[in-house]
Chain A
Amino acid sequence: NAGVTQTPKFRVLKTGQSMTLLCAQDMNHEYMYWYRQDPGMGLRLIHYSVGEGTTAKGEVPDGYNVSRLKKQNFLLGLESAAPSQTSVYFCASSYRPRSRTGPGDTQYFGPGTRLTVL
């Protein structure tokens, strides 16, 4: 199994350009997530999905859109990139939790996409 893969690995954009980051997982996970990681800060959740065809906002959703048309893929879009969106983006996936009192699901992370917006 490849686990969680992300494309591209690196990208440089100019302010105002658009792009889509692709995340794919082959573990049949229900849940998928997009995070951004900035120096000196913890990972912050952008958007997430609890199943095919569903998406929800996380902690920092502004300026991003997502789509989950297929269970194995989760796309993150930037319609008009800004320098503040320069960051490393991580995708993650997990099984649906079996019970609310259980330990929940471990998230499996992709290798990240390093995005620079000039």
Chain B
Amino acid sequence: KNQVEQSPQSLIILEGKNCTLQCNYTVSPFSNLRWYKQDTGRGPVSLTIMTFSENTKSNGRYTATLDADTKQSSLHITASQLSDSASYICVVSSGGNQGGKLIFGQGTELSVKP
């Protein structure tokens, strides 16, 4: 069964600290992996996308890694800011990314405290 599992479920860190969110998947065939950020009361917004051949992708203070062998991805946030407080969703695409082929993780709720 195609699944995407994220950990931890929730995380609280102090402003300025770094953190790493995890995503494990059992999706086949694999096409790509995305990380989305979802602010409270808003829709998800894409942060990064990685295909099978990419190991790492950065977007400002966000760095995503992908290990296709172990089927794991991580999202590292550097020097966290209060505005990083949000839910982070890992999404794996199977096949040609047509409708119905995206598998969503349940998200990690990150809270950054001053």
Q: Within the complex, what minimum Cβ distance (angstroms) separates A53 from chain B?
A: 15
Q: Within the complex, what minimum Cβ distance (angstroms) separates B95 from chain A?
A: 8
Chain A residues with CB below 8 A from B93, complex form: 104
Inter-subunit contact B43/A104 (CB<8 Å): no
Assuming the contacts A97-B97, A104-B97, asked whether A42 and B105 have C-beta atoms less than 8 A apart, the reply is yes
Stretch from A11-19, A44-52, A77-85 that touches the partner:
A44-52
B4 in the interface (beta carbon within 8 A): yes
Assuming the contacts A97-B96, A104-B31, A104-B96, asked whether A45 and B102 have C-beta atoms less than 8 A apart, the reply is yes
| Chain B interfacial residues counted at CB < 8 A | 26
Query: Which one of B43, B103, B104, B106 has the highest number of Cβ atoms from chain A below 10 Å of its Cβ?
Result: B43
Inter-subunit contact A56/B43 (CB<8 Å): no
Bound-state Cα–Cα, A92 to B89, Å: 15
| CB interface residues, B 1-43, toward A, < 8 Å | 4, 31-32, 34, 41-43
Bound-state Cα–Cα, A42 to B107, Å: 7
| Chain A interfacial residues counted at CB < 8 A | 30
Bound-state Cα–Cα, A54 to B94, Å: 22
Bound-state Cα–Cα, A17 to B78, Å: 48
B42, B98, B103: which contacts A112 (Cβ < 8 A)? B42
Q: Within the complex, what minimum Cβ distance (angstroms) separates A25 from chain B?
A: 12
Assuming the contacts A103-B51, A104-B93, A106-B49, asked whether A41 and B106 have C-beta atoms less than 8 A apart, the reply is yes
Listed A/B pairs (29) with beta-carbon separation below 8 Å: A4-B43, A31-B99, A33-B99, A42-B103, A42-B104, A42-B106, A43-B44, A43-B89, A45-B99, A45-B100, A45-B102, A48-B99, A48-B100, A56-B99, A57-B100, A58-B100, A90-B43, A100-B96, A103-B49, A103-B97, A104-B31, A104-B32, A106-B46, A106-B49, A107-B46, A107-B102, A109-B45, A111-B42, A112-B42
